[in-house]
Structure 1
Amino acid sequence: MDGVTVIDHPLVQHKLTIMRKKETSTAGFRRLLREISMLLCYEVTRDLELTMETIETPLVEMQAPIVEGKKLVFASILRAGNGLLEGMLELVPSARVSHIGVYRDHETLQPVEYYFKAPEDIAERLIIIVDPMLATGNSSIAAVDKLKERGAHNIRFLCLLAAPEGIKNFQSVHPDVKIYTASIDSHLNELGYIVPGLGDAGDRMYGTK
């Protein structure tokens, strides 16, 4: 699927399978989400540009590679996005963070926005939006809309699971934003949940249902 990268690393797929199991505990789900987020982060940042810097090792002076440009911004779609965010910050602790408050109305399946906070210079940075699910795509579209309104133009979207319907919807509005996911599942059910999916990621992560 054009514009979509499926991260099929064996460790990613193994951990995702355990997360899908309904008997996986809240603590186990949360731990696995943190672990898998580091693996996903590794892949979504694989092509960051490098520059050379002169450093001194304990033995010699050398030219060594370092990430070029300003630090990344991880943009978490609240609340479930924070589960991915925590693991990614362990891997890239210097990243800036944006929080986007968007939830899906369960009757209309449309996004409701309630919070937005981001660094002022996001136009100069690579933004990686994180949310465990790309279901209908409406919340993700709203999040990208908000970031673009503030000047962001270099944006990627990272999720655990995506539905074909959500990908199609998302790409129809934001074809310039690449999608990275661990799995493209079968379809959405009548309630807008991804099938086979793993249930509501926020509820499973926080034990609220």
Structure 2
Amino acid sequence: MHIHHLGLENSVLNNFILELRSVTIQNDSMRFRRNIERVGEVLCYEMSKSLTYKLGDVVTPLGKKEIQILHDKIVICSILRAGLSLHQGIQNYLDQAENAFISAYRHHTNDSNDFEIIVEYLAGPSIEDKILLLADPMLASGQSFVAVKKALSSLGNPKEIHLLSVIAAPEGIEFVSKHFPENTHLWIATIDSHLNEKGYIIPGLGDAGDLAFGSKLQH
């Protein structure tokens, strides 16, 4: 898997990450969603440089100009619910892309730290021979991405897969690398230290879904 760790370079991206992490800022849910969206825009812009383009013409009021235009067919798929803001950021730049949505959540057994990923909802177009972008803000254990990949197989075989996340743990990156094709690309804003015993990223930022959309009842 090809890993693109954008946070290693100095850019305004790190300001967005700071605000997402800060306990004094992140509780403003509208600002939190917007920062996730802005990170999605940065990740998407950098990812777009790796796509396929073809030469086309544009007619202006004063003439004609050749320009390289995006040629790939793209499907953006976000993991509900935390992925919605990240999805919006990607879609802001790839507004002609098709869209898919899938649910994935942790189901803990016997009140233990062990869990499995449950997928219950999927809506999307064919992904056959298209570029598939999977969006989820937190790449913790990596099990959600793997479960989603399995569920999406019913929609076809993509030409290439790109994973876009805000924060990742090394354990999750290693797990995903073992279950996705070698030519998969991971576009990540920052990589943290490790997972704790409950499978949460440390230092992370907390529960991205709750911070973006409010707390939820556990079932």
Pick aligned residue for 1:31 from 28, 34, 40: 34
CA deviation vs aligned residue, 1:138-182 (integer Å, no higher than 9, x gap): 111011122234323311111001101111111111143221111
TM-score between both structures, scaled by the size of structure 2: 0.88
Give the structure 2 partner of residue 136 of structure 1.
141
Which runs of structure 1 show a deviation greater than 6 angstroms over 4 or more consecutive aligned residues? none
TM-score between both structures, scaled by the size of structure 1: 0.92
The alignment status of 1:195 with 2:198, answered yes or no, reads no
Shift of 1:32: 1.1
> Which consecutive residues of structure 1, in runs of 5 or more, have no partner in the other structure?
none
Q: CA RMSD in A?
A: 1.6
Shift of 1:207: 2.3
Give the structure 2 partner of residue 15 of structure 1.
16
Give the structure 1 partner of residue 107 of structure 2.
105
Shift of 1:33: 1.2
CA deviation vs aligned residue, 1:16-58 (integer Å, no higher than 9, x gap): 0111011222222112112221111111222211111133222
How many corresponding residue pairs? 206
SS of the residue 2:103 aligns to? strand
CA contact (8 A) 1:4 1:180 kept: yes
> Which consecutive residues of structure 2, in runs of 5 or more, have no partner in the other structure?
none
Give the structure 1 partner of residue 178 of structure 2.
172
Pick aligned residue for 1:64 from 63, 67, 83: 67
SS of the residue 2:120 aligns to? strand
Give the structure 2 partner of residue 81 of structure 1.
83
SS of the residue 1:27 aligns to? helix
Calculate percent identity across the aligned residue pairs.
Answer: 34
